[in-house]
Structure 1
């Protein structure tokens, strides 16, 4: 375990160094094209969370509330329609992962590797973990599910913090320090372990079934790193995921059968609707695959090198955020830009959330925005 965590931390440092050292050589972002005035979207409300938000921190929508957290540990729940604060809490320590919530209980993990659970804003319990966590906990069925960077998953009782079970399987010696897959589908918890999707019984932590989404390739351990990254995309019983810098694939969750897998380099999660699966590659080309076959329906290069977020499918459109805080709405039929929304200059921090025809956007400087999309 210690070797694995050490190697994971070393790999994270290597990747960070590569990004920083190559920053000056990175291609210039594609200039934005002029758009005609459009009435396809309008702002509903915006609020400030009072601190910066790292990319690993994500919003959760449950029971009519948006629950969000900033780096400093401020956790708040707000009404979907108005943004009015329903409750607020404070976690001691810098937050590394979160927030998971069912509307009442909220769970985050600190950089000191402590799992902290709040009840309507009041701290209920906290417990130390034996691994670093960058994936948002999942709160469901009176349980808190936590996935470490080693892709082990532990379940805790949300009431008293008792550890109920731990699932861990031998895997590659390297693990990706990026949010993984922790996705409920009906009465099953699907998790990513390396390039494999594993279905767990959420009550017992036992394996129901599993499937390999991508085949690692390369001449060394770093090149063969193919961990599944979140967020996964779900439509009905179909689950689609990305394997880091390797492939995109979809699985029939009822039979654990991978229906298709296509090679693509990329690091961000996916989105899908009844017709297409959407994702951006490592150069920010946005691609739409046909949901049933995996055939490419369209590919656009109008947003190259703009550091795009994971996409969101909404109202017959595809939304992607960029490093300047713009949210681009693309036609799902051919990918052309139909509208552009501004969050006033701060990059989009985490995957956007869709609730009906409303789009929720969280920015790196702690801005939370709601837009109505026609």
Structure 2
């Protein structure tokens, strides 16, 4: 896989600009808010806590666990994949998906092969499908972790694939969406979309509904492909690139689209949140929110955070804002998850926060790690599974 020098240079310049802005302590609008000091109104309990190798180390990665077959599957960036019993945390199996290395260190149990750069996991069809930034999708047995197949794809896998209709479908950093046969990994179809010369490094996971695969694109459009053959059905712009510079024209949809009935919700880093009627491919409403983290839909509430870590609840039917909370402004919060009656997020200092989902009031604060929380928590059977930067998996529930 090759990257043009100009594109790499622009990406580096963007990183420098963002870091420079973030380090500008003369602008109070860019400084993180102080951690809120509140009296907790209830307690939480850590059921179990386990480690997955070295986590994502110093890289910015939203790698999160996945749940299936009464197990929690987690990975580190290097290529270690671990299955835990969901209720007890007991390790069921562990594998390293890197090719075995050669040389005398391998005899001592060390694998010096390059990192797999794992980016996402999904469990389905009795398999665990693992996507990597090295441009591979690997299928493992959910029972014992043995490798079933491995396929190279035409681009980096920057988010978790999905598994539907007997297919594994991944949205690649190159703009391509690829569908593989879940049984043997053979390519069934691929579809290519335009990618601007400057984008946020990331790609939304696909969404699936009613025979369609829905992709949030780097150009600010939502695209729909027929899941059977990959044919483009329609595309709708959520945000249009605007501005005189490539930086100003960034409009990526890095948040995974959400589908409820015939309504699709998409959030763009270009400054738009929209609802699309998937029957008519019509934009039903659009509001000005700028973000790149995954959203969550709870009944008729769409809960999201913007690029300044301000949390919002929006009426999913009308787009009317129901509440907002800026107590975690610029604290780099994770995407949210619904745990009971609360919205759960984490921040860059390893704290978790629970907000009342009806009113947006902050009700609970707890530190679960001394490292940053980057990944969206997952919730199954009223238990939240949270992965820290250093690879700790924490299973937590409300008391």
Calculate the TM-score normalised by the size of structure 1.
0.90
Which residue number corresponds to residue 111 of structure 2? none
What are the Cα deviations for residues 58-105 of structure 1, in whole angstroms up to 9, with x where unaligned? Answer: 322233332221111111222322222333221113324222322732
Residue 49, structure 1, aligned to residue 74, structure 2: no
Q: How does 1:278-293 map to 2 (within 5 A)?
A: 278-293=303-318
Of 140, 144, 165 in structure 1, the residue corresponding to residue 168 of structure 2 is 144
Q: Is the 8 A contact 2:199 2:250 kept in 1?
A: yes
TM-aligned CA distance change 1:40 to 1:241, over 3 Å: farther
3-state SS of paired residue (1:231): coil
Residue 351, structure 1, aligned to residue 357, structure 2: no
Q: Answer with 1 or 2: which has the greater Rg.
A: 2
TM-aligned CA distance change 1:318 to 1:281, over 3 Å: same
Which residue number corresponds to residue 100 of structure 1? 122
Offset of residue 176 of structure 1: 3.2
Offset of residue 128 of structure 1: 2.5
Partners of 1:254 and 1:356 in 2: CA distance: 33
Partners of 2:271 and 2:262 in 1: CA distance: 23
Root-mean-square deviation (CA), in Å? 2.5
- More strand by percentage: 1
Q: Is the 8 A contact 1:245 1:267 kept in 2?
A: no
Q: In terms of mean alpha carbon deviation, does 89-98 or 109-118 score higher? A: 109-118
3-state SS of paired residue (1:22): helix
3-state SS of paired residue (2:32): coil
3-state SS of paired residue (2:129): strand
3-state SS of paired residue (1:229): coil
Partners of 1:140 and 1:62 in 2: CA distance: 15
Q: In terms of mean alpha carbon deviation, does 65-74 or 105-114 score higher? A: 105-114
Q: How does 1:31-50 map to 2 (within 5 A)?
A: 31-39=34-42, 41-50=44-53
Of 352, 363, 368 in structure 2, the residue corresponding to residue 327 of structure 1 is 352
Partners of 1:309 and 1:146 in 2: CA distance: 22
Which residue number corresponds to residue 211 of structure 1? 236
3-state SS of paired residue (2:376): coil
Partners of 2:83 and 2:230 in 1: CA distance: 30
TM-aligned CA distance change 1:172 to 1:21, over 3 Å: closer
Q: Is the 8 A contact 2:65 2:73 kept in 1?
A: yes
Of 85, 88, 93 in structure 2, the residue corresponding to residue 87 of structure 1 is 93
Offset of residue 367 of structure 1: 1.0
3-state SS of paired residue (1:108): strand
TM-aligned CA distance change 1:190 to 1:373, over 3 Å: farther
Aligned pair count reads: 373
Of 19, 30, 35 in structure 1, the residue corresponding to residue 33 of structure 2 is 30
3-state SS of paired residue (1:144): strand
3-state SS of paired residue (1:361): strand
Partners of 1:62 and 1:184 in 2: CA distance: 18
TM-aligned CA distance change 1:126 to 1:228, over 3 Å: same
Structure 1 residue ranges, 4+ long, deviating more than 6 angstroms after superposition: none
Q: In terms of mean alpha carbon deviation, does 19-28 or 300-309 score higher? A: 19-28
Offset of residue 254 of structure 1: 4.5
The unaligned stretches of length 5 or more in structure 2 are 99-114
Partners of 1:36 and 1:256 in 2: CA distance: 47
